[in-house]
Amino acid sequence: MRRTAFRLAFCTLLSVMLTWRVASQQFNYHDQHSWEGSCNTGSRQSPISFTHVGDAPMPGHYEIDLSGDCELTPTADVIVAPNLHQVVVTDPAMKCNIKHPVTGAAYTVQQLHFHLPSEHVLRDGPGDAELHIVTANNANPDLKMVVGIVYRGGDDSQHPIAAALLSNVFRSAAKQTALPRRYGLLESMPQKAGGYVYEGSLTTPPCSEVVSWVVFSEAVVILSKVVSDMKRVMNVKIGTPRNNRDLQRVRSEHQVQFIPSAEVFSVNRYLAQITVRKILIVIVGTFVFGAIILLLWHHHDENKACLEAGNTEELAPLTEASGNAGQAGYGTAAPV
Ligand SMILES: [Zn+2]
């Protein structure tokens, strides 16, 4: 009896310890002062507001240079990660390289995730949501570059591709189904926007200061209904009305720089590559289709010729036979 009681007490203690350990690995957006790591001690924490950042453009020419396969495919893994309070998208089939617009350092896309409401605050205010494209430095994967895109709900979607991407990602997350089609990363970005570049941190514990941020300076307007759907999935699946970190104080260590729209994020080259690829696919497809049609036509002609030849050969004996029959009809008896 005493041994059973001891076992019960031991198991209860173990269970409490395990529960405490799992809980300690999670974090709470309503109690951000308790976050560990560099969250409360760092000198260049993220996110920040750009409302008071000067908009004097940096001299020179800058662009985000994408290369490789930068499309999300239906094989992408779309999950609601409760411990991270996020919808996270990873796609092993996507091999997308992005160069930092200022340093030119090469990074590879690792995952995408969303924050509601937005974490960064643009000059015209916060957004309803923010997409973070997380990349790792090719030379040192511990160093990250995160591309941030802020979305705002409106009556009319200015960017149907971005709205479709967000809508389908959240639908897939809620229903645990695959994405219905491929989505080009760059095609879902703002096409004519400037950007802020600064040195910051992860916006979740341990808030490591290893992130080079590139944040588009203008929000993408999507349908309010899409925002509502996103909020519903986040609330239902995660049980929290928000998953954005509080704004952090802007310091000189952030080295915030503004790049004007005409020069940054010049997506035309990559879009031109996609267009050329699509045109090539259409040309090759047309050629293959034409070749098949020609082959079938040729085959049809041959069959027709064969049939006609066959008919002629079959008719010939008949003619002879009719001739003979005629002759036979008129002749009463064949000569012996
Ligand atoms: Zn994030």
Q: How far apart are the C-alpha atoms of 205 and 26, rounded to whole Å? A: 9
Can you read off the two tokens belonging to residue 27?
Answer: 């974090």
Q: How far apart are the C-alpha atoms of 195 and 214, rounded to whole Å? A: 7
CB-CB contact of 243 with 86 (8 Å): yes
57: nearest Cα among 194, 236, 213 = 194
How many Å separate Cα 51 from the centre of its chain? 29
Q: Give pLDDT < 50 ranges for the chain.
A: 1, 6, 8-24, 262-266, 268, 312-336
Q: How remote is the CA of residue 276 from the centroid of ligand 1, in Å?
A: 33
Tell me the CB-side half-sphere exposure of residue 68, using CA atoms within 13 A.
15
Q: How far apart are the C-alpha atoms of 147 and 104, rounded to whole Å? A: 14
Q: Which residues surround ligand 1, an ion (CB under 5 A)?
A: 132
204: nearest Cα among 82, 39, 80 = 39
The β-bridge relationship of strands 77-81 and 86-90 is: antiparallel
Q: Which CATH number fits domain 36-266: 3.30.70.2740, 3.10.200.10, 3.30.1490.100, 3.30.1490.480?
A: 3.10.200.10
Burial of residue 142, with CB atoms counted within 10 A of its CB: 0-12 exposed, 13-18 middle, 19 or more buried: exposed
The conformation of residue 139, written as its DSSP 8-state character, comes to: S
Contacts 24+ apart (CB under 8 A), 327-332: none
Q: How remote is the CA of residue 147 from the centroid of ligand 1, in Å?
A: 10
The b/e string for 322-334 (b: 16+ C-beta within 10 A; e otherwise) is eeeeeeeeeeeee
Q: How remote is the CA of residue 160 from the centroid of ligand 1, in Å?
A: 23
**Identity of the amino acid at 214:** V
Q: How remote is the CA of residue 203 from the centroid of ligand 1, in Å?
A: 6
